[in-house]
Chains A and B, each alone.
Chain A
Amino acid sequence: MTRTEIVVVGGGPAGLAASLAASRSGAKVLLIERQAQLGGQLVKQTHRFFGSSAQSAGVRGITIARDLAGQAASMPEITVWTQTEALGYYAGGTLLAERPERVEIVQGARMVLCVGASERPLAFPNNDLPGVYGAGAVQTLMNVYGVLPGRRVVMVGAGNIGLIVSYQLLQAGVEVAAILEAAPQVGGYLVHAAKIARAGVPIMTSHSVVAAFGETELVGIRAARLGPDWRPVPGTGFDVDCDVLCLAVGLSPLVELARLVGCEVCYIPELGGYVPVHDDELETTVPGVYVAGDAAGVEEASSALIEGHLAGLAAAHGLYPQVDYEAHRGAALAELEALRAGPTGAKIRVGLSKMAQVKGGGRQ
Chain B
Amino acid sequence: MTRLDRLVASGVPDDEAVAAVLPSAERLAKGPVAVIECFQEIPCDPCAAACPRGAILPFGDIKDLPSIDHELCNGCANCVVKCPGLAIFVIDVSSGGDRVIIKMPYEYLPLPRRDQEVWGLDRSGKRVAKVKVLRVQRPAAFDRTALLTIEVPASEVHNVRGIAPPAGGDDR
Contact = CB atoms under 8 A, between A and B. Distances in A.
A194 B46 contact: no
Interface string A312-347: 000000000000000000000000001111111100
Nearest to B127: A200
**Residue picked from B11, B40, B44, most chain A C-beta under 10 Å:** B11
B125 A184 contact: no
Give the contact-size bracket for chain A: 35 or more
Given A57-B45, A344-B41, A185 B8 contact: yes
A50 B84 contact: yes
Contact of B107 (A49, A171, A189, A190): A171
Interface in B85-117: 85-87, 107-109
Contacts of B143: 48, 59-60, 63
A59 to B, nearest CB: 8
Interface in B112-171: 121-126, 143-145, 161-162
Contact of A50 (B8, B42, B107, B126): B42
A99 interface: no
Given A58-B82, A197-B10, A338-B62, A190 B39 contact: yes
A191 B63 CA distance: 14
A36 interface: no
A53 B45 contact: yes
A59 B35 CA distance: 22
Contacts of B9: 184-186, 205
Contacts of B39: 190
B77 interface: no
A341 B8 contact: no
Nearest to B38: A191
Contacts of B145: 48
Contacts of B16: none
A196 B9 CA distance: 13
A186 B8 contact: yes
Nearest to A194: B11
Give the contact-size bracket for chain B: 35 or more
B10 A57 contact: no
A199 B162 contact: yes
A190 B11 contact: yes
Contacts of A170: 108
Contact of B40 (A197, A199, A344): A344
Contact of B43 (A50, A63, A195): A50
A69 interface: no
A47 B39 CA distance: 20
Given A58-B82, A171-B107, A191-B86, A342 B43 contact: yes
Contact of A194 (B45, B61, B123): B123
A41 to B, nearest CB: 17
Interface string B1-34: 0001001111111000000000000000000000
B84 A198 contact: no
A47 B121 CA distance: 22
B73 interface: no
Contact of A47 (B50, B84, B109, B126): B84
A57 B44 contact: yes
B126 to A, nearest CB: 7
**Residue picked from B7, B10, B63, most chain A C-beta under 10 Å:** B10
Contacts of B121: 198-200
A96 interface: no
A47 B83 CA distance: 11
A179 to B, nearest CB: 8
B124 A343 contact: no
A223 to B, nearest CB: 15
Interface string A36-65: 000000000001111111000111100100
Interface string A192-214: 11111111111111000000000
Contact of B44 (A50, A201, A204, A345): A50
Interface in B52-79: 61-63
B125 A200 contact: yes
Given A198-B161, A345-B43, A53 B49 contact: yes
B48 interface: yes
A190 B7 contact: yes
B125 A199 contact: yes
A184 B126 CA distance: 23
Contacts of A186: 7-11
A195 B161 CA distance: 9
Q: Which 3 A-B pairs have the closest CB atoms?
A: A200-B125, A191-B85, A193-B11
8 contacts: A190-B8, A191-B40, A191-B42, A191-B86, A191-B87, A198-B12, A202-B10, A205-B9
